[in-house]
Amino acid sequence: MAETKYIFVTGGVVSSLGKGIVAASLGKLLQARGYRVTIQKFDPYINIDPGTLNPYEHGECYVTEDGHEADLDLGHYERFLNIPTSKANNITTGRIYQNVINKERKGDYLGKTVQVIPHITDEIKRNMMILGKTGKFDFIITEIGGTVGDIESLPYIESVRQLRWELGKNCLCVHLTFVPYLSAAKEVKTKPTQHSVKMLQEQGVQPNILVLRTEQELSRAICRKVALFCNVDEDAVIQSYDVPSIYEVPLVLAKQGMDKIVLQKMDMPIERKLDLARWEEFLNNMKSVEKVVKIGLVGKYVELPDAYKSINESLLQAATYHKHKLDLHFIHSEKITEENAEKLLCDMDGIVVAPGFGQRGVEGKLIALKYAREKNKPTFGICLGMQCLVIEFARNVLNLQDANSTEMNENAPHKVIDIMEGQKNLTVMGGSMRLGAYTCKLDKNSKAYQAYQCDSVSERHRHRYEFNNEYKNLFEKNGMKCTGINPDTGLVEVVEIPELKWYLGTQFHPEYNSTVVRPNPLFMSFIKAAIKE
Ligand code: GLN
């Protein structure tokens, strides 16, 4: 069996260039050539994982099947490659140091002084190769978070330098930079790219491939100039110009033969033709859509669409499969009042109530839900959104005054959403929620069952609070059914009001496993109902 190949993706000049998309797109192309690929992300921050981070910091917290709270780029990797990632696919500096310090406390370093070089870099290298050693993959693509030149990324770049030396042809570096267009000078500028490559070279890493992010297509002359000044083969200067959808990026890279260049440089055979048939079908659907489906996403992070990344993408995928253009409106939950709810929501074909933590914005979500329920609008509540469906129903249909979640009011007279027994005495916040994939049994007479077409599903979780089963009979008698149950614990996973067109909430997060070639059935079903609107 051929040895595992390692591809590192670094970024320079500015952040937010879309390294994750480039890594995912390259992975997609190698996969489309018949190779087994996984992508991992190394983040230079000290948090052990992004679970404790506010979405304002790095956007959505993604969750893997094995219950790891991960960087949102793992969501891109899964949406592009259609294979699950795991805890091993996302490492932070915090985890590296934690491992090293634990080893030091155990005496594993046998009296040595523990240092960044070699102990931290060795631990980074060990982690970079964990997935490669499983024998499950031909290619491991590693995205290094941050920008070259940041102090905190130094140990990562040094680790890449060492691995290149050790692995030879089995290792390749792709560096992503930015080529700005100065409108006053009417020119594109390559100097920032040259500087960024110099910085990488100073740290001992010569990139094999450059990907230039640019707003508009660059001339060959520009690419030639970059190649000459950066010691990179001319055909290995790839450009990634702006395209209407991130899902077009693999095609942009394929057009320039990036996959072939990678395979050639790594001495890998190019046997299979690039098979992107399903991907292209999806893109063709996207281009040929005529009608529009208008969805209102009610949440408190409206100024930050990345906070709901996976939901946005799931809605887009489902709309595209239904040959509709997604017109997504972010509606600020804190700004919804009894007076303006109608105005804000009446135009929407469907309403999604977002996940979240804490009291802020919850009352607005409840007002939106009352409106949606009374007007019989297709409505989808996810995690906190589902809990809000329950609270709103308790207050306004069951007349349980001040019903609430323990999270919002510990002294609520009716805690229809309550803390799980196992969560009561926790003192640490990180990694301590109910996380990852759990099985859910679906009631055959439900919208959820109709959507999935099977009675047992597995979906991912990230929460502390749960539907309070003491109230289950009361809810069911009055028209809100618990149609999805965890078979091991009896916890409620799905609620719906069968009488309404499509009014459903899930305690789990179906958005985490929706991919381009396999959209999540609940999003498909919700969008279908919204289109009928
Ligand atoms: N805050 C809620 C809980 O912890 C919901 C979490 C979420 O929406 N992800 O149960």
Q: What does the pLDDT look like over 155-169, one tens digit per residue?
A: 999 999 999 999 999
Nearest ligand 1 atom to the CA of 417 is 10
Q: How far is the CA of 42 from the centre of ligand 1 (A)?
A: 26
The residue nearest atom 5 of ligand 1, judged by CA position, is: 384
pLDDT for 371 equals 97
Residue 375 φ/ψ, nearest 5 degrees: -90, 0
Q: What is residue 421's predicted lDDT score, i.e. its pLDDT?
A: 75
DSSP per-residue codes, 326-359: EEEEEEEGGG--TTTHHHHHTT-SEEEE----SS
Atom of ligand 1 nearest to the CA of 466: 10
Rounded to two decimals, the pTM is: 0.93
Pocket probe for ligand 1: among 383, 438, 461, the residue whose CB has the most ligand atoms within 8 Å is 383
Report the separation in Å between the CA atom of 325 and the middle of ligand 1, taken as the mean of its atom positions: 30
| 152: Cα separation from own chain's centroid | 23
By annotation, the residues acting in catalysis are 383, 509, 511
Query: Helices 258-265 and 19-32: crossing angle, nearest 10°?
Result: 80
Q: Which atom of ligand 1 lies nearest, measured to the CA of 356?
A: 8
pLDDT of residue 1: 52
What pLDDT, on a 0 to 100 scale, did the predictor assign at position 302? Answer: 86
Pocket test for ligand 1, best of 298, 407, 466 (most atoms within 8 A of CB): 407
Which residue type occupies 175? Answer: H
Angstrom distance (rounded) from CA 27 to CA 195 = 27
Say what the pLDDT of residue 533 is: 77
Q: Which residues of the chain have pLDDT under 50?
A: none
What pLDDT does 532 receive? 87
Query: What are 437's strand-pairing partners?
Result: 460
Q: Which residues line ligand 1 (CB under 6 A)?
A: 355-357, 383-384, 407, 462-465
- Cα 301 to middle of ligand 1, angstroms: 15
Atom of ligand 1 minimally distant from the CA of 465: 10
**pLDDT tens digits along 99-143:** 999 999 999 999 999 999 999 999 999 999 999 999 999 999 999
Task: Specify the residue with its C-alpha closest to ligand 1, atom 3.
Answer: 463
